[in-house]
């Protein structure tokens, strides 16, 4: 247990070493980063098994900033079952994703030159490419410096009509070392967040996580979309964070403590009033809404897909977005103390689940579908928590981390394969469209060419859709059950409505997920690349896919009611009171999932509806979904109207009015001085007049002002 | 020995600085060609000036150390400062020492007349330091700074006169000593004096001169001007607010809130680092003014904040020094070829300014939010928090660009200054408790 502090420190050390010394030693940087997280992962599993074996929670803290003789802000860590589960998830997923990244971060040489390229190298290519990579490192550096300045890529071989030339060789992304520094920083922050035992410490790492995500989303920062997306993500989550920070201050002012354990005591014994709990919980929840991309702060997550795909898998599937759910779980006693706060959490969660799923129905960018899916699934987790079942919410977080990371990584593999095969964008591509290598309308027929990617994505999709006995089925069932229980035990009409939302979402989820699967893998290839070069990704990428497929299948069994609710008992100990599986409910949701898959099959695989699906008639509903309910536009309008315009008004005022006034005054003084100099110089009466006049003015002023102060 | 021991601590510091100034001015001819020796003399004078202050009370120690830190960073940047003419380096060094003297006198003055002298010494040095920067913009900015400084100084002198009229002395105001007949004169006097000090803090509506000076001057020198002015102004205002809370507090809170909003919006519109930092200084000055209006806790928070803020801003300016007086547009930070040390220094400074934990800027903001919440309640604190949140919008804009860390072509001359300020910022971030304890002690809380 005493080793717990090493878990975040090791990746942080990797970050520091890479950042300071190894920025140019790409290969070494990658390995160091992987080794550090592997060691953390081993320790995390060790702790996990000790917790499983019944070890008591471990807590350690020291005062950081003394605000008074007996008031100090603490820094502290806590290892308990909740933290242990998260540690295992975060380190394992992060380890696999870092291994995957080592294969992913290559780009075709011509793209590197033009600066719009994407990752890649396959195992056979890899060696040559890496050797080649060193040679062109200096040039790639220069490219990185000018990337984006060029804007327009020179026409590729494909566009010259040489369709049968082999695709360009691959070189390592020039930011390779930087990437691993960032990802280590991010992982360290996330692990610190998980270990935090008080609100201040969690906030500290919470911001660190946000910063890491900002840097990683904007990794290809010369791409304007990436820079914009990074900023949008950071600012949107910051908006939630400001509620979080106020919440911390509020709880501190009301209770004088910051430690989760002591706050829980206060809430459970009733020493904290329900009003305080409600206000505090809702303010904390603002932070969670931002981080976990819940409505109405969900807008950043789809855009965050501009980052490298492994980053999306790590940050936007398994770790950072789960931090909001984790925060609510950590502060759960405070939430539980306030039924109204619980209802808000449940409602935001349930609504987000169906709302995001609806947008996932029409997105054509493979990564954005995954993003909407993540938002929707996070909504499920919040719904589970809001229904009072911390076990259900956290269990869904646990299983989701594996199959969603797998989905993102398979999507990355697809993008990578198509990119390598030369899926270039046409010159006249509609700027609203995703790149061709990411657009599911321009995929297809990859089943035989990339079987590992295909099989693993199908497994993950089945798991997400909730087909028994895969992981997603068990955890989703727990969430539905918790909502149902709450509805039947005094939760009232609101929870019935939420249950309805959750059940409809099951159908939508199965449909949009298999829409992606069928459009990507079934039929024949419809895109611009030469199909003969479409082949499976290198082993460094497929291996993590295979490894992640295992928990995507079996992780759910740990919490299965038939097998003794292992997860719930571990997490909640004696407090756990999980019921039997509600068979009709489980059956019904499974049927809906199967129905959704069938519908997707009819629409996209069978072909009868294909033409319509590919070119949907522009209906109002379709346009609304495609434009994400115009919420982004609404926010932009609000920001423009209330912030940007004011900012420019102030800037204009300062540069024109004030500067003008000062310069004008100077000119005026100068010219008056010149004109009156000869007349007035040295005339004592004038000076006296000025002095006495001034005195008179001040006297009048004082008499007028006097009543105001007396 | 007895004579030496009987010198009050701040006066000892001042004497050593004046001595250093004289040495540099006497040796101008020789020193103009050997910037290293020049900087060494300057650094030694500053370090020497810090010693006697250690015998003083906590407020003296905080103010002298803060000013000395500002002077040190400024002095370390003298060899690489962008000047019209490199023979002016000794003048610049002398002006830094003189400005430090003024700031120390302002911060530690036993009565208001000395404070006014300190203020004027600081103002003059500051204006000339800005004016010596290379190019036409520094000259214009310095002129503007000087004109507005003169106006605010005039207000201060009027205030002194009124205070003398009301109380018969130039002592720092204390509650309860004034004859009720003169209370309004006293009130106006105190406010006018506060206005004079507030100009150095660059709060709304006294921000325009400093804004230009910070934007246009040679970065190292502008950083010194900014840092020394802030620390002296906060300490002086803290003394004034301690003795005259009745008229001062509501006004400080009011201008604090307006400054936060004004500075935040202003910074949002900027497209380059230096003017963005200048605007953000207005927002930060607003935070300090707000805290100064919040009783002893608030004044302690303001002192704590200013120490951290000053070191952070010195780090930022040191990182940008040596590359000319021109603007540093967000998109071109990389093209400017900041070396890795400087890019990391600027990054650290920006993170701290944005209040990202565990940088010291976070602790500083937290202390002020805490004080404001306990003294004023929710709404003013909300404004401060929103200002902080919006700060992220502009502070982090250059970050991805900065961190690409491409090879630099600019000399690494400012490296010692960056290391010094960077180390101070890191230490304050990891161990903020000591600085906070000193700040509380300084306020007597």
Using a 10 angstrom Cβ sphere, with 0-12 exposed, 13-18 middle and 19 or more buried, the burial of residue A411 is: buried
Of B361, B401, B385, B386, nearest to B273 (Cα)? B401
Say whether B184 and A698 touch across the interface (CB within 8 A): no
Q: How far apart are CA A352 and CA A293, in angstroms?
A: 9
* Most confident region among A103-117, A316-330, A640-654, B377-391 by mean pLDDT: A316-330
User: Can you tell me the mean pLDDT for B76-102?
Assistant: 87
pLDDT at A113 over 80: no
Residue A155's pLDDT band, with cuts at 50, 70 and 90, is very low
User: Can you tell me the mean pLDDT for B285-305?
Assistant: 92
pLDDT at A146: 37
Share of chain A above pLDDT 90, in %: 7
User: Can you tell me the mean pLDDT for B138-163?
Assistant: 86
Q: How far apart are CA B41 and CA B74, in angstroms?
A: 13
Is the pTM for the entire model greater than 0.90?
Answer: no
Residue A265's pLDDT band, with cuts at 50, 70 and 90, is confident
Reported as a single tens digit per residue, the pLDDT across A687-710 is 555 555 655 665 566 556 554 555
Reported as a single tens digit per residue, the pLDDT across B218-272 is 888 999 999 999 999 999 999 999 888 778 888 899 999 999 988 888 888 888 8
Query: Which of A214, A246, A706 lies closest to B396 in CB terms?
Result: A214
- Average pLDDT over chain A, rounded to an integer: 77
Closest B-chain CA to A178:
B404
Q: Which tokens sit at B296?
A: 């002893």
Helix (H) or strand (E) holding A79: strand A72-79
Higher pLDDT: B312 or A159? It is B312
Closest A-chain CA to B391:
A235
Partners of residue B183 in chain A, C-beta under 8 Å: 709-710
Say whether B269 and A246 touch across the interface (CB within 8 A): no
Higher pLDDT: A1 or A595? It is A595
| Disruptive mutation site among A12, A651, A690, A710 for chain B (greatest number of B CBs within 10 Å) | A651
User: Can you tell me the mean pLDDT for A192-212?
Assistant: 88
Query: What is the ipTM metric for this complex?
Result: 0.73
User: Can you tell me the mean pLDDT for A656-666?
Assistant: 64
Q: How far apart are CA A353 and CA A372, in angstroms?
A: 9
pLDDT at B274: 87
Q: Which tokens sit at A155?
A: 């026409």
| Disruptive mutation site among B265, B338, B364, B369 for chain A (greatest number of A CBs within 10 Å) | B265
pLDDT at A68 over 90: no
Tell me the residues of chain A between 156 and 175 that have a Cβ less than 8 Å away from chain B. 175
Sign, CA torsion A611/A612/A613/A618: positive
Closest B-chain CA to A241:
B389
Query: Which of B162, B340, B373 lies closest to A249 in CB terms?
Result: B373
C-alpha dihedral over A426, A427, A430, A436, to 10 degrees?
A: 30
- Average pLDDT over chain B, rounded to an integer: 84
Say whether A215 and B401 touch across the interface (CB within 8 A): no
Say whether B392 and A651 touch across the interface (CB within 8 A): no
Reported as a single tens digit per residue, the pLDDT across A4-48 is 888 888 888 888 888 777 777 777 888 888 889 999 999 998 888
Residue A664's pLDDT band, with cuts at 50, 70 and 90, is low
Residue A610's pLDDT band, with cuts at 50, 70 and 90, is low
Helix (H) or strand (E) holding B389: helix B378-395
Reported as a single tens digit per residue, the pLDDT across A349-381 is 999 999 888 888 888 888 888 889 999 999 989
Q: How many CB pairs under 8 A join A and B?
A: 134
Q: Which of A219-228, A311-320, A378-387, B60-69 has the lowest mean pLDDT?
A: A219-228
Say whether A207 and B367 touch across the interface (CB within 8 A): no
Q: What is the maximum span of chain A, computed from C-alpha positions, in angstroms?
A: 106
Tell me the residues of chain A between 29 and 88 that have a Cβ less than 8 Å away from chain B. 63-68, 72-73
Query: Which of A19, A207, A644 lies closest to B356 in CB terms?
Result: A207
Q: Are A341 and A382 in contact (CB under 8 A)?
A: no
Query: What are the Cα distances from residue A644, in Å, to A638, A648, A649, B208?
Result: 9, 6, 8, 21
User: Can you tell me the mean pLDDT for B294-317?
Assistant: 91
A58-66 and A72-79 strand pairing = antiparallel
DSSP code per residue over B138-173: HHHHHHHHHHHHHHHHHHHHHHHHHHHHHHSS-BPP
Say whether B184 and A710 touch across the interface (CB within 8 A): yes
pLDDT at B125: 92
Q: Report the interhelical angle of A471-486 vs A366-386 (nearest 10°).
A: 40
pLDDT at A617: 59
Partners of residue B208 in chain A, C-beta under 8 Å: 654, 658-659, 662
Tell me the residues of chain A between 126 and 145 that have a Cβ less than 8 Å away from chain B. 141, 144-145
Question: A212 touching B, CB under 8 A?
Answer: no
Residue B329's pLDDT band, with cuts at 50, 70 and 90, is confident
Say whether A242 and B389 touch across the interface (CB within 8 A): yes
User: Can you tell me the mean pLDDT for A252-274?
Assistant: 85
Closest B-chain CA to A176:
B404
User: Can you tell me the mean pLDDT for A525-547?
Assistant: 80
Question: A687 touching B, CB under 8 A?
Answer: no
Residue A658's pLDDT band, with cuts at 50, 70 and 90, is low
């Amino acid at each position: 247990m005493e080793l717990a502090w090493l878990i975040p420190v090791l990746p942080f050390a990797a970050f520091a070493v890479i950042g300071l010394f190894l920025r140019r030693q790409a290969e070494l940087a990658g390995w160091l980063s992987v080794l550090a997280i592997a060691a953390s992962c081993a320790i995390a599993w060790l702790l996990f098994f000790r917790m499983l074996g019944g070890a008591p929670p471990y807590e350690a803290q020291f005062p950081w900033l003394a605000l008074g003789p007996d008031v100090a802000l603490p820094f502290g860590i806590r290892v308990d079952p909740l933290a242990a589960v998260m540690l295992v998830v975060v380190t394992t997923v992060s380890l696999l994703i870092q291994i995957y990244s080592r294969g992913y971060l290559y780009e075709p040489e011509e793209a590197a030159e033009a600066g719009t390229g994407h990752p890649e190298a396959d195992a056979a290519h890899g060696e040559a490419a890496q050797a080649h990579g060193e040679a062109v490192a200096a040039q790639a550096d220069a490219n990185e410096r000018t990337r984006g300045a060029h804007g327009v890529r020179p026409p590729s071989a494909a566009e010259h009509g040489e369709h049968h030339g082999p695709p360009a060789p691959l070189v390592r992304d020039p930011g390779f070392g930087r990437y691993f520094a960032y990802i280590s920083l991010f992982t360290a922050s996330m692990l610190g967040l998980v270990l935090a035992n008080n609100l201040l410490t969690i906030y500290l790492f919470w911001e660190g996580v946000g910063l890491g995500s900002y840097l990683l989303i904007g990794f290809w920062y010369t791409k304007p979309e990436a820079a914009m997306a990074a900023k949008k993500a950071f600012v949107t989550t910051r908006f939630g964070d400001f509620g979080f920070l106020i919440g911390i201050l509020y709880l501190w002012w009301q209770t004088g403590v910051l430690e989760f354990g002591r706050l829980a005591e206060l809430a459970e014994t009733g020493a904290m009033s329900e009003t305080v709990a409600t206000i505090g919980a809702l303010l904390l929840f603002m932070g969670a809404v931002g981080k976990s991309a819940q409505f109405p702060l969900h807008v950043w997550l789809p855009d965050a897909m501009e980052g490298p795909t492994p980053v999306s898998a790590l940050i936007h599937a398994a770790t950072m977005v789960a931090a909001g759910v984790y925060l609510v779980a950590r502060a759960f006693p405070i939430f539980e103390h306030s039924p109204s706060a619980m209802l808000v959490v449940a409602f935001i969660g349930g609504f987000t689940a169906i709302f995001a799923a609806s947008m996932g129905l029409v997105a054509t960018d493979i990564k954005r579908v995954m993003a909407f899916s993540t938002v929707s699934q996070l909504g499920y987790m919040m719904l589970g928590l809001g229904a009072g079942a911390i076990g259900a919410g956290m269990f869904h977080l646990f299983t989701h981390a594996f199959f969603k990371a797998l989905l993102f990584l398979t999507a990355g593999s697809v993008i990578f394969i198509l990119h390598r095969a030369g899926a270039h964008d046409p010159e006249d591509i509609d700027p609203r469209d995703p790149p061709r290598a990411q657009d599911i309308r321009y995929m297809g027929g990859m089943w035989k060419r990339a079987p590992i990617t295909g099989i693993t994505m199908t497994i993950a999709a089945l798991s997400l859709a909730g087909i028994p006995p895969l992981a997603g089925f068990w955890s989703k069932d727990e969430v539905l059950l918790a909502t149902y229980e709450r509805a039947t035990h005094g939760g009232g009409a609101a929870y019935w409505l939420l249950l309805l939302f959750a059940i409809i979402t099951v159908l939508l989820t199965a449909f949009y997920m298999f829409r992606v699967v069928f459009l990507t893998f079934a039929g024949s290839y419809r895109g611009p690349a030469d199909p003969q070069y479409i082949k499976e990704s290198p082993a460094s990428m497929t291996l993590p896919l295979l490894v992640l497929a295992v928990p995507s299948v079996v992780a759910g069994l740990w919490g299965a009611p038939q097998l003794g609710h292992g997860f719930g008992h571990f997490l909640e100990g004696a407090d756990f009171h999980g019921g039997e599986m509600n068979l009709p409910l489980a059956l019904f949701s499974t049927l809906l999932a199967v129905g959704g898959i069938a519908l997707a099959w009819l629409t996209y695989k069978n072909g009868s509806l294909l033409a319509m699906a590919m070119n949907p008639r522009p209906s109002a509903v379709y346009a609304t979904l495609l434009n994400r309910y115009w919420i982004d536009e609404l926010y932009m309008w609000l920001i423009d109207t209330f912030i940007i315009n004011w900012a420019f008004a102030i800037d204009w005022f300062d540069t024109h009015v004030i500067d003008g006034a000062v310069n004008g005054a100077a000119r005026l003084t100068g010219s008056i001085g010149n004109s009156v100099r000869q007349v007035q110089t040295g005339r004592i009466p004038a000076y006296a007049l000025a002095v006495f006049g001034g005195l008179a003015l001040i006297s009048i002023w004082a008499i007028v002002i006097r009543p105001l102060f007396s | 020995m007895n004579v030496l021991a009987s010198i009050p601590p701040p006066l000892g510091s001042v004497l050593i600085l004046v001595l250093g100034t004289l040495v540099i001015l006497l040796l101008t001819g020789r020193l103009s060609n050997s910037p290293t020796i020049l900087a060494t003399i300057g650094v030694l004078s500053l370090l020497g000036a810090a010693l006697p202050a250690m015998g003083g009370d906590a407020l003296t120690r905080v103010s002298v150390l803060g000013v000395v830190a500002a002077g040190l960073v400024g002095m370390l940047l003298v060899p690489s400062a962008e000047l019209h003419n490199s023979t002016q380096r000794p003048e610049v060094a002398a002006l830094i020492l003189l400005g430090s003297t003024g700031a120390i006198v302002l911060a530690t003055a036993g009565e208001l007349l000395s404070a006014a002298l300190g203020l004027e010494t600081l103002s003059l040095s500051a204006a000339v330091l800005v004016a010596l920067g290379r190019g036409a913009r520094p000259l214009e900015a310095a002129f503007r700074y000087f004109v507005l400084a003169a106006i605010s100084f005039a207000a201060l002198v009027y205030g002194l006169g009124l205070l003398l009229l009301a109380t018969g002395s130039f002592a720092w105001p204390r509650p309860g000593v004034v004859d009720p007949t003169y209370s309004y004169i006293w009130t106006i006097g105190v406010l006018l004096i506060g206005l004079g000090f507030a100009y150095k803090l660059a709060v709304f509506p006294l921000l325009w001169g400093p804004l230009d000076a910070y934007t246009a001057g040679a970065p190292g020198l502008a950083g010194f001007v900014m840092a020394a002015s802030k620390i002296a102004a906060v300490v002086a205002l803290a003394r004034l607010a301690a003795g005259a809370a009745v008229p001062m507090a509501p006004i400080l809170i009011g201008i604090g809130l307006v400054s936060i909003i004004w500075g935040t919006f202003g910074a949002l519109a900027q497209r380059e680092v230096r003017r963005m930092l200048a605007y953000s200084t207005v927002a930060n000055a607003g935070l300090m003014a707000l805290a100064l209006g919040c009783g002893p806790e608030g004044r302690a928070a303001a002192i704590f904040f200013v120490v951290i803020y000053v070191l952070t801003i010195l780090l930022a300016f040191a990182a940008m020094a040596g590359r000319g007086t021109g603007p540093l547009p967000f998109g071109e930070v990389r093209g400017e070829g900041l070396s890795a040390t400087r890019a990391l220094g600027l990054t650290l400074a920006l993170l701290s300014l944005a209040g990202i934990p565990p940088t010291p800027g976070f602790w500083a903001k937290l202390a002020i939010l805490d004080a404001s919440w306990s003294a004023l309640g929710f709404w003013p604190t909300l404004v401060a928090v929103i200002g902080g949140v919006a700060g992220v919008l502009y502070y982090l804009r250059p970050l991805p660009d900065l961190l690409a860390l491409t090879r630099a072509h600019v000399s690494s001359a400012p490296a010692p200054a960056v290391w010094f300020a960077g180390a101070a910022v890191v230490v304050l971030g990891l161990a903020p408790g000591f600085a906070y304890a000193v700040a509380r002690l300084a306020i007597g809380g």
